[in-house]
Amino acid sequence: MKHRDPVIFISEPLSDEQRAELLRAAPGARIVDQAALATDASLAERIDVCYSALPAGLWGKAKGLSWLQVKWAGVDTLLALPQVVAHRATITNVHIHGNAVCEHLWGMTLMLTRNLKRAVIRQEEGRWDESLKDGLATLSGRTLCIVGLGAIGASCAAVGRALGMRVVGIRRHAAASPAADKVVGPERRLEVFAESRVIMVLLPDTGDTRAFIGQEELSAMRGAFLLNGGRGRSIDTAALVDALRAGNVRGAGLDVTDPEPLPPGHPLWAMPNVVITPHYAGNHPGYDGEAFSVFVDNLARWVRGKPLRNVVERDAGY
């Protein structure tokens, strides 16, 4: 079914060039913003399309909303809102994070395996510390486990292979993938964790993924380096602290945590074998422009009645 002359609500400022792009994709569109709604409240009921966020108070009024394009990948926070659950608008996201998350997680990995975090601290202290040569870890010939082998995981796996690593993926359906030497289902995670030198977690936040890695899983690890670039609740934080202290986990790189942010004084802050960044692994120069281009491409599809890209499966949560 083709859609003509849609009302498009835009939640962030548009440049003249972006406005022109939208009108090329949907020539008869009416583009409205919060200021327009303040002037004419009846517009809310006529909204067909939204980019990139619909204010919480508009979900009940925007009964005609057909499609929401968000500018991020994770939609767990959005799908937790009752007003969103009650609304059946199609939601699409963006997948423009792969290269940035891959670079970020491998940067963290090398900080840990090559003692680079400690070396930077020594540099800031003005100290030449040859003991940093002790306790280094190597990656070639070892196993890399990707928990959540999707597009981002495939990018991470390619780097692992370039470093000479064997790659094992974990995903819901254990179908073979060219990105990995082996793919297994979640039920085999203890076996895979026991043989892995590096474990990268790239899971969305759903009922099935919360505490996916708990005390039992962490105890199965044998001095692995654990990286999390997905969602903090995938890993039991208290159990991770214990595993780091016991040596089951040799080092951790966390772009996400539970809770997020970690409170002052939390043990993870002070651990020398932990690298923490404030949830920005997917950010990169040009991100907003890339996300907007995804929206424009999808808008052209929507107007022509073509299938949208990156449709979120509400039941799955991503």
Mean pLDDT per 10-residue segment, the chain (318 residues): 88 97 97 96 96 96 97 94 96 96 98 97 97 97 98 97 98 95 98 98 96 98 98 98 98 98 98 98 97 98 97 93
Task: Domains for the chain: give ranges and CATH numbers.
Answer: 7-96+285-304 (3.40.50.720), 98-276 (3.40.50.720)
CA end-to-end span of the chain: 25
Q: Rounded to two decimals, what is the model's pTM?
A: 0.93
Please choose, from the candidates 119, 169, 109, the residue with its C-alpha nearest in 3D space to the C-alpha of residue 139: 109
Structure token pair of residue 293: 């281009």
* 100 bridge partner residues: none
CA distance 52 to 75: 12
CA distance 167 to 165: 6
So what's the pLDDT on residue 290? 98
Active site residues: 231, 260, 279
Q: CA 62 → CA 9, 52, 95, 313, distances in Å?
A: 10, 15, 26, 21
So what's the pLDDT on residue 70? 98
- The amino acid at residue 235 is I
So what's the pLDDT on residue 1? 65
Helices 98-113, 151-162: axis angle to 10 degrees equals 40
So what's the pLDDT on residue 157? 98
CA distance 57 to 246: 48
Please choose, from the candidates 310, 297, 293, 302, the residue with its C-alpha nearest in 3D space to the C-alpha of residue 6: 302
So what's the pLDDT on residue 3? 83
